Structure 1
Amino acid sequence: MSETEPDDGGEVRRVRGNDYRVLQPPEQFTPELGVSVIIPAYGAQEKLDLVLQGLARQTYPAELTEVIVVDNGSSPPLRLPEGAAARLVVCERPGRASARNAGLAKATGDVIHWLDSDVVLTPGALEAHMRWHHAAPYLSVTSYLRFTEAPLPDVLPEDLEAAFEPAEPHAWLVGLVERTDGLTVNSPRPFSLHVGGATSVSARLVRAAGPMDDDLILGQDTEMGYRLYQAGAVFVPEPRALAYHLGPTMRMREQKRIDRVSHAFVADRIPAYQWLRTHPARQWKVPNLTAVVDGTAGYEAVRATVDALLASTVTDLSVVLVGPWDTLDRDRRAPLKDPNLDLVLVHGHYEHESRIRLATAEEVHPSVPFVLRLPAGWVPGEDSVARLLNLARAEGLGLIGVLLGESSEGIVAARLERVSSFARARLVARPGEDLDDAVDDVSGVRWVAGETYDFTAEPVELTGRRNAYKARIQAEAEAARLAKEAERLRAQVTKWREEAARWRKSAVELRREVGTLRRQLHAARRAQQGMRAVLSSTVKRALGRKPSGG
C-alpha cells in the first residue's frame, strides 16, 4: 500500500478533531512506505556521527529509508562516516529552515522525518513513527525527547539508556500532552507539537502545506506545523519513539529572548495565536477570517453586506469581492449608460480599501483559518461574526450554516467554514460523497437561524468604530453637561441646607421666646388670681361688718 492509497476496502480512516486513538495502528504491520530522514547540520561532526550510527540501528527496513544530511555552511565542511548509508547535500543559504528545504527538495519518501543533528534515535523510534503513517496518510508524529548532559562517547554504545541517563524529559511537550490527554481533547493548537528535532510528516501534507518559511528568523517549526494543520494534519505524540538530545537546546538556554524574537514574527503568520494579536484594530499578513462575497450582485446589495462586515467587532478579517473586474471599460465617456455601471461602482468604492481584495476568482490565503461565504444583500450585525466564531471554536465545528431566507432558487444561507476541517474532509471523502458530510464526520456541522445571529436583509445604520467614536464624544459632552448640572444642584442643595439651618435656628429662638411668654403669661395669671382672691376676701369682710351706733 502506498502512502496515497486508502485502506480498509478503499476508505481512508477518519479522525474527528485530533483524536487519533480511533486509528489503532496494529503492533505488527508490513512496512511499505518509504521515509526520508532529513538532517540539517552545522558543525558538531562528533554529534552527527552518533546520530548516523543511531539511524543505522533502526528496526525499520533500511531499503525503505533514505537519510539526507544537509551541510548548512560548516567550516570545515561536514563529512559522512565511512560506510554511512546517507547522502550529503550542501546548502549555502544560512538557516535551519533553508537547510531543511534543501533536503526536502531531494527527498523521495512517502514520509518526511525531520531530525536534528544532535538527536539520537533509539532503535525502534523510526518504526514507531511509521506504524502510525501506515494507518492514515495525514499524520504528523513526534518523538519523546530526553535531554542528556552525559559525555559524548566515541562510538554509540548498544545500551543508550546506560550511556545517556539520567536525562531530563522535554518538559514542555510532556506538559502539553498531559493537559490534553495526549492532544485528543481540549487542544485548540495541536500543531504546537510539530518540532523539528524529531518529527515525521506525511509527504502529501508537506506538499500541500509547502516548504518551511525561510524568511522567519525563529519559530519556523511551529509556523509549518500550523500550515500542516491547515492542510488537514492530525498530530500524534508517540512515547515509544524515544530519542536523546545531546545537550540542551537553544530554547532551553534562552527561552525569553527566543520568545521575544519569535513572537514578533509568528503573530503575523499564525492567526490561531490570538493572544499575540492584542491590538484592537491593526491588520495582519494572515487574517483570522476572510469573507467571500459576490461582487456582481448589485452596488447597493454588495455595499450593504461589505460595509457591515468592515464595521464588525471582529476587525481581524478581510473580504474577497469576486467579479469580472478585468473586463471593465476604463473609457467611461457615458458612465450612466454603462451596462456594467454597478460593477464600476463596486470597483471604485472598494478599490483602495486595504481589507478588500477585488478578485476575478475566489482567492483566500491558505493559512486563513476561517472563511465566511455570505450572499450579497444580507447584512450581519455588529457581533454576528464574533458570535459565529465563538460557536465554532467552543464546539470544534468545521461548518456553521446560517439559514437566512428563501428565494425562487431555494434556501439562502451563509456558511462559516473552518479551512482545516475541509482540508481533512477532502483527504478522507469517498468518491461522490458530499463534502459537508465528510466535514461532519471529522469536525462537526451545525445549522443556525440567521435572525438568532442578527442577520437581516435590510440595510442598517452602522455602529462601527467611527460611529462609536461619535457616540463616545457625545457621551463625553453629555457627561460634562451632567457634571455641570450636578455641580449646580450641589450648590443649590448647599444653599438649601444653609437656609434650613437658619430656619432651624429661628425656630429654636422662637420656641425659646414662646416659652418665656408662656411663663410670663402663667405668672400673670397666677398674680391675677391672687389679686382676685385678696379682693374677694376684702369685699367679704367689708360686707360682713355691722354699722356703728346701730
Structure 2
Amino acid sequence: MSDNRPGLPHRPDDLSPDGGVRRVRGNDYRVLQPPEQFTPELRVSVVIPAYGAQDKLDLALQGLARQTYPAALIEIIVVDNGTSPPLRLPGGTAARLVVCDKPGRACARNTGLAEATGEVIFWLDSDVVLTPGAIEAHMRWHHTAPYLSVTSYIRFTEAPLPEELPDDLEAAFEPAAPHAWLVDLVERTEGLTTDSPRPFSLHVGGATSVNAGLVRVAGPMDDDLIVGQDTEMGFRLYQAGAVFIPEPRARAYHLGPTMRMRQQKSIDRVSHAFVADRIPAYQWLRTHPTRGWQVPYVTAVIDGTAGYEVVRAGVDALLASTVVDLTVVVVGPWDTLDPDRRAPLKDPDLDLVLVHGHYEHESRVRLATSEEVDPRVPFVLRLPAGWTPGEDSLAVLLDLARTEGLGLVEVVLDEPASEVARLERVSSFARARLVARPGEPLDDAVAAVAGVQRVDGDQHAFTREPAQPVGRRSAYKARIQAKAEAARLAKESERLRAQVSKWRDEAARWRKSTVELRREVGTLRRELYTAQKAQRDMRTTLAGTVRRAIGKRLRG
C-alpha cells in the first residue's frame, strides 16, 4: 500500500545518510543522537500566555534574555489574557505583546500561535524561568528531525522572588521540588523509550517545544476544555506522528506551586470528566460497558456497495463485538440516492437503499462517501466485503498490536492472500508518512517505525460465512471465567508466596538456633578444656609435692 501525501518540510540536517528523514521506532529517540555542537538555523517562537503576576512575567522574560541560543532566532510573544490593569513589557525586552480577551489559557496560546512565525513553537508559562541553556538544549533535538516534542525538567521553588534575576539561579531558587510525576514517568520507561503506551502525557505547557509543522497538522489547542488542554493536544500530536523527548539539560524553575499541586483532586475530577471523551487512549477512564464517546477507540471501514446481506453481516458482527468503544464507517455513494424514488423493488440501487435505511439511525454507524476517519481515533480496521469477525476477534488483534507495539496487523484467510483485513495504528501511519522515502510503499515505512505482523484469520475467528450475531455473552462469559481463573491463580500464588516466606522465616530461625547452639557448644568446649587443663595442672602440682615430700623423708 502506498501513500503520496506529503510529510513535514525538512532540512538537510534532518536526513539520514541514505537521504531519507531520520526514523524513530516507537518513541525510542536515542537513534537521533544530536551533536554537542551544531549550527543553529531554526527559528523558535516562544508563546507565553499570561494573566496577572507581572513580577513573575518580568523574571521569565529576563530568563529568556539570557539564553545561549542566538537571540536573532528567538521570537517572544506574550499574550495578555485579560489582565486588569493590562500587563506591560519591561524596557528593552525583545518581545511582542498581544491581547486575548476571551478567558482561558488555551485561547491565549492559540492567539500566540496565530502570531508565531518560527519553525518551532515553545510553550512557556509566565511563571517559569528557564536556565540559560534550556532553549539551546531543545533546539539540538529539533535540528535532527521535524516531528519532535521536547519537554524541560521543571523544579518548583517557593523561594522569595528577587527583583532582578540573579546570575546563579540555583543559589536563588534551591531547594526546589522536582516535577514528581514527570520524573517517575521518565524513570519507569527509561526516558520514554520503552514500555510507554502514552508518551504524549509529557506534553505539558510549562516549558515544552514542538515542531510548528506538526502543530499545523494536529491543530491548535481545544479551547472548549476547561483543564487538560496540554495533554489533549499532546495526544493529537502523538496521533500526527510526534516523538516525545524529556531533556534533562533543559532545566527551569516554576515560581511557586501550580494550581494542580494545590488542588489536584478537584482538578482531576474536572479534567477526567472532559478528557475521557476526547482521549481514547485513556481507556481507564472509559469504564462504562456500553456507552459511546466523542472519539472512539477503533473505527472499522466497510465497503457499503458489496450488497445488502454481505454488508449487514460484517457490520452486525462488528456491532456485536466485545470491543464496544467502536464506530463503523460504511462507505458508499449515499449522496446519489433519490429519496423520492418510487417502485423500490425495481430500483437499480435497491441494495444501497436497504443498507442506508437499515443503518441510518444507528448511532455507532456512519454512512460516508469516502474512507476519511477522524485522525484522533487510535486504530482503524479495514474489513474486506464478505468477511465476518468473531465476537472477540477485534479484541485479540488489539491486544496483539498493543503488546507488540505494532503499526499494522494483517489478517489473511487463505494463501496466497487475495485480500486481507488490516488493523492500522493511526499514529504509526502518520509517522510513516513523515519519514517515507520517495516511491517507498507506506507499509514498509510502517514496518520501520513500528512493525508489521500477519496472522491467520481462521485462528482469530474470521470467516467468509455470514453468521447470526449472538451478542457478547459467550465472549464476556469466557473473559469472566478467565478473569476468575486468573484471580484464583493469583490468590493461590499469593498463598504459596506466603508459605515460602513462612518457610524462609522458619529456616532463618533454625539457622539462628544452629548458630546459637554452635556458640554454646563452643563455649562449653572452651570451659571443659579449661577445667581439664586446671585438673591436669593440679595433678602435676600434687605429684610434684608428693615426690618432694618423699625425697625429704628418704634423705632424713
Coarse TM-score class (shorter-chain normalised)? 0.7 to 0.9
Distance 1:210 1:3 in 2: 17
Match of 1:4 among 5, 10, 21: 10
Cα contact 2:290–2:324 (8 A) shared by 1: yes
> 1:200-219 residue pairs with structure 2 within 5 A?
200-219=209-228
Match of 1:416 in 2: 423
SS in structure 1 at match of 2:355: helix
For residues 226-251 of structure 1, give each alpha carbon's deviation from its aligned partner in whole angstroms, at most 9, with x where no partner exists.
00000000000000000000000001
Match of 2:143 in 1: 134
- Select the structure with the greater relative contact order (CA < 8 A; seq sep ≥ 6): 2
Match of 1:125 in 2: 134
Distance 1:346 1:135 in 2: 50
Match of 1:435 in 2: 442
SS in structure 2 at match of 1:379: coil
Match of 2:269 in 1: 260
Distance 1:185 1:134 in 2: 23
TM-fit CA distance, 1:362: 1.3
TM-score where L is the length of structure 2 = 0.82
Distance 1:453 1:460 in 2: 15
Cα contact 1:405–1:413 (8 A) shared by 2: no
Letter in 1 for 2:156: F
Distance 1:341 1:171 in 2: 62
**2:385 aligned with 1:376:** yes
Cα contact 2:24–2:449 (8 A) shared by 1: yes
Letter in 1 for 2:276: A
Match of 1:243 among 223, 245, 252: 252
> 1:218-297 residue pairs with structure 2 within 5 A?
218-297=227-306
Match of 1:111 in 2: 120
Cα contact 1:3–1:134 (8 A) shared by 2: no
Greater Cα radius of gyration, structure 1 or 2? 1
Match of 2:100 in 1: 91
Match of 2:470 among 456, 463, 468: 463
**2:432 aligned with 1:397:** no
Match of 1:451 in 2: 458
SS in structure 2 at match of 1:16: coil
Distance 1:458 1:196 in 2: 52
Match of 2:318 in 1: 309
SS in structure 1 at match of 2:419: strand
Counting matched residue pairs gives 468
Which ranges in structure 2 are unaligned for 5 or more consecutive residues?
Answer: 1-7, 477-556
Cα contact 1:18–1:190 (8 A) shared by 2: yes
Distance 1:311 1:90 in 2: 51
Match of 1:144 among 124, 137, 153: 153
For residues 241-289 of structure 1, give each alpha carbon's deviation from its aligned partner in whole angstroms, at most 9, with x where no partner exists.
0000000000111111110000000000001100000000000000000
Which ranges in structure 1 are unaligned for 5 or more consecutive residues?
Answer: 470-550
Letter in 2 for 1:368: V
Letter in 2 for 1:352: H
Distance 2:257 2:328 in 1: 45
Cα contact 2:391–2:475 (8 A) shared by 1: no
TM-fit CA distance, 1:7: 2.0
Runs of 4+ in structure 1 deviating by more than 4 angstroms, as ranges, are 465-469
TM-fit CA distance, 1:297: 0.6
TM-fit CA distance, 1:162: 0.8
TM-score where L is the length of structure 1 = 0.83
Match of 1:489 in 2: none
SS in structure 1 at match of 2:89: coil
Match of 1:364 in 2: 373
Letter in 2 for 1:4: H
Match of 1:159 among 168, 171, 175: 168
Distance 1:362 1:145 in 2: 43
TM-fit CA distance, 1:467: 9.2
